[in-house]
């Protein structure tokens, strides 16, 4: 069975992707900080399908330990889904919390890069069809007030993905930057420090991208013929325009 390694598998895109792949004959390595959610995800499936690892993207040692402790049953890795990431705060400069900036940089850029480097040998071992999908954002290209460092971290993901693709040219490993627009997950709840109501208000009257939508895109990317590579996939709900905040209501 092929194996997919997922960061941020405790909710949203990561959890939906884990479930879709597990239901369709893949083994899953589900990682994240919230152990109780990982355990619940694992227990939805037959023993041995989902391997869980508590992992903190802001801690490089945690990443290295999680990859080093993988059982042989979940090696090599055919697909790496670098999904873990977050936004914190929505204020414009200078009314920001520098600590939030540090967490976003450590998680969205350093965590993604460190995970990629740790998993790379297992992707090389998987052979043709091995795929890295990095979750970027349309915020990398379309700035909006309060997006400051979050958008900048996603610009890093975009450019890192293209450079990684270039560095891996000649190998069998594919690299895609998947860049969603408005998607309803726990994203806004996290961004507003746990305000679930703010999450609901933000998407009121909007049919956004769903976690299942992204999971289906992941399935498409991971199962493409091995000679094909999609460099960037930019996706928005039809109600959103490529000016980030222009929405038909």
Domain ranges, ordered by start, for the chain: 3-235
The string of pLDDT tens digits covering residues 29-63 is 999 999 999 999 999 999 999 999 999 999 999 99
Cα–Cα distance measured from residue 161 to residue 1, given in angstroms and rounded to the nearest whole number: 26
Catalytic residue among 142, 150, 193, 203: 150
Question: What's the chain's average pLDDT?
Answer: 94
Total-model pTM: 0.95
The string of pLDDT tens digits covering residues 198-245 is 778 888 888 999 999 999 999 999 999 999 999 999 999 998 888 655
Asked if 150 is an active-site residue, the reply is yes
Work out the end-to-end distance of the chain between its first and last CA atoms, rounded to an integer number of angstroms: 45
Lateral strand order in the sheet of 3-6: 50-54, 27-32, 3-6, 79-82, 131-135, 174-180, 232-235
CATH 3.40.50.720 is held by the domain 3-235: yes
């Amino acid at each position: 069975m092929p194996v997919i390694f997922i960061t941020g598998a405790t909710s949203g895109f990561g959890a939906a992707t884990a479930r879709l792949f597990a239901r369709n004959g893949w083994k899953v390595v589900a990682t994240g900080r919230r152990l109780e959610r990982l355990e619940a995800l694992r227990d939805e499936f037959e023993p041995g399908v989902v391997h869980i690892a508590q992992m903190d993207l802001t801690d490089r040692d945690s990443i290295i330990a999680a990859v080093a402790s993988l059982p042989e049953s979940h090696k090599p890795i055919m697909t790496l889904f670098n999904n873990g990431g977050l936004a914190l705060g929505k204020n414009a400069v200078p009314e920001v919390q520098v600590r939030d900036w540090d967490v976003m940089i450590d998680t969205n850029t350093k965590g993604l890069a460190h995970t990629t480097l740790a998993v790379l040998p297992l992707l090389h071992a998987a052979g043709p069809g091995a795929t890295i999908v990095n979750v970027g954002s349309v915020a990398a290209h379309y700035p909006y007030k309060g997006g400051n460092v979050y958008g900048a971290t996603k610009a890093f993901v975009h450019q890192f993905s293209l450079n990684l693709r270039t560095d891996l040219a000649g190998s069998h490993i594919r690299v895609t930057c998947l860049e969603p627009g408005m998607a309803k997950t726990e994203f806004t709840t996290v961004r507003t420090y746990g305000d679930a109501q703010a999450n609901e208000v933000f998407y009121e009257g909007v049919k956004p991208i769903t976690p299942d939508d992204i999971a289906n895109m992941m399935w498409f990317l991971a199962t493409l013929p091995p000679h094909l590579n999609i460099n960037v996939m930019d996706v928005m709900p039809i109600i959103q325009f490529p000016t980030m905040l222009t929405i038909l209501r």
